[in-house]
Amino acid sequence: MSKTVAIVGAGASGLVAAIVAAKRGARVKVYEKNSKIGKKILATGNGRCNVTNQTIKTSNYHGSNPKFVNIAIYRFNTQVCKNFFSEIGIELVEGQEGRLYPKSLHSSSVVNLLTYECEMLGVEFFLDTKVEAIEADIRGFALHVGDGKLFSSSVLIATGGLAMPTLGASASGYEFAKSFGHTVVSTFASLVQLECNENLKEISGVKIQGNIEVLSDKRAVASTQGDILFTNYGLSGSAILDVSRAVGKILQNADEVDINIDLFSEYSKEQLKTILSKRAKNSNSKSLSLWLDGFINPKLAKFLAKKTDIKNADDLNTKEIVRLVYMLKNFKLKAVGTRGFKSAEVTAGGVNTDEVNPKTFESKLQSGLYFSGEVLDIDADCGGYNLHWAWASGYSVGISI
């Protein structure tokens, strides 16, 4: 009799695991509490599905033990990923920063073809089906569904994390893990917008390219460059998402985090001082905000002018210009929170990877129990790395289960 595999969760890692396990002869059943397959996949990459990246490295991954990913991402590297999707009918094209998308530029293409491949291989889907509990059984495992029990020789927990609750995210995977004695590393939102203590309504909607630095106890813990978007609640944009993990981690143990923004990262302090000194010679009795208006976003010019005690650009002397340069290169805000799981793209924290075999993704505490994807204490940078982890971990389970 062929081995039976129950997969809880019809997301990215669960679908790949189902395909690979079915190809190896397993009888696979996938249980999904949502009414649709791959709901979170459909939302990724702004609906285009950032499948993977040309460069996948350990340094792109985070968690208590990032090296846990090494075997999986080496086994299922970018080329293997391309081949896998090509074989099921999905061709990939490259976008910015090495990001790879389906050639159709529609995430539905990915879900449709993964689903078709599963069905062609005999994988059974049970949608609108919530698994309430999982127990070890003489036949392997008993899954409590409704008033009954379903049995399987092995189980994969591919339930995802807490990010995007509107798409069905929940803590069920962590609860299943705990029921088998697993520990769960404290979770928090990552790849998420930041809330600040200062009212930024006046500059809401202003978008710049700049450098951002995260400081804890005056020590830099993260930095990056990219899009920074000011909002009513605080900060958004790609650069903010990139540092949000570091901010979220600190906020677990602190009330606020210092954010330092270089509004003119294209200029050194000396270059900016020279430019402003030259402009000051032609101030022509302009107000400081109007004088800045010709050099920076009008909303931002007005906002920054209010932060100084200088009303007229004619009053700018060398000392005041140096002070202005410092403010423009060190625009300081305090992050007091994130927008939480409702806005986050991914969950940091999860099932402790020390208790999971990195080769097979089988539990070290319960034979026949597997974990994959976001439910584990692994998260990644923005750019296709989180989805790649889902595919790679699912693939590892599929060839091992």
Confidence of residue 90 (pLDDT cuts 50, 70, 90): very high
Task: Determine the structural domain holding residue 208 and report its residue range.
Answer: 193-339
Q: Does position 112 have pLDDT exceeding 70, yes or no?
A: yes
Q: Averaged over 333-353, what is the pLDDT?
A: 96
CATH number (domain holding residue 395)? 3.50.50.60
Confidence of residue 376 (pLDDT cuts 50, 70, 90): very high
Q: Does position 279 have pLDDT exceeding 90, yes or no?
A: no
Residue whose C-alpha is closest to residue 348's, from 378, 389, 392: 378
CA 11 to the chain's CA centroid:
15
Partners of 369 in beta bridges: 155
pLDDT in tens, 172-223: 999 999 999 999 999 999 999 999 999 999 999 999 999 999 999 889 999 9
Task: Specify the number of domains making up the chain.
Answer: 2
* pLDDT for res 36: 95
Token pair for residue 125? 């889907």
Same domain, 118 and 246: no
Token pair for residue 333? 């805000």
Same domain, 97 and 184: yes
* pLDDT for res 101: 97
Confidence of residue 149 (pLDDT cuts 50, 70, 90): very high
Of the three residues 339, 361, 392, the one that is the final residue of a domain is: 339
Residue whose C-alpha is closest to residue 98's, from 373, 382, 378: 382
Same domain, 215 and 273: yes
Please give the span between the terminal C-alpha atoms of the chain, in angstroms, as a whole number: 15
| 3-class state of residue 32 by DSSP | coil
Same domain, 61 and 146: yes
- Phi and psi at residue 354, to the nearest 5°: -65, -20
31 close to 131: Cβ distance less than 8 angstroms: yes
Q: Percentage of residues in the chain with pLDDT exceeding 70?
A: 100
Same domain, 270 and 352: no
Confidence of residue 146 (pLDDT cuts 50, 70, 90): confident
Q: Percentage of residues in the chain with pLDDT exceeding 90?
A: 85
- How many residues comprise the chain? 401
Q: Does position 1 have pLDDT exceeding 60, yes or no?
A: no
Of the three residues 312, 339, 366, the one that is the final residue of a domain is: 339
Q: Does position 2 have pLDDT exceeding 80, yes or no?
A: no
Per-residue DSSP letters for 79-106? Answer: HHHHHHHHHTT--EEE-GGGEEEETT--
Q: Does position 307 have pLDDT exceeding 90, yes or no?
A: no
Residue 338: partners with Cβ closer than 8 Å, 6 or more residues away: 188, 189, 192, 193, 194, 195, 244, 247, 248, 251, 344
* pLDDT for res 12: 98
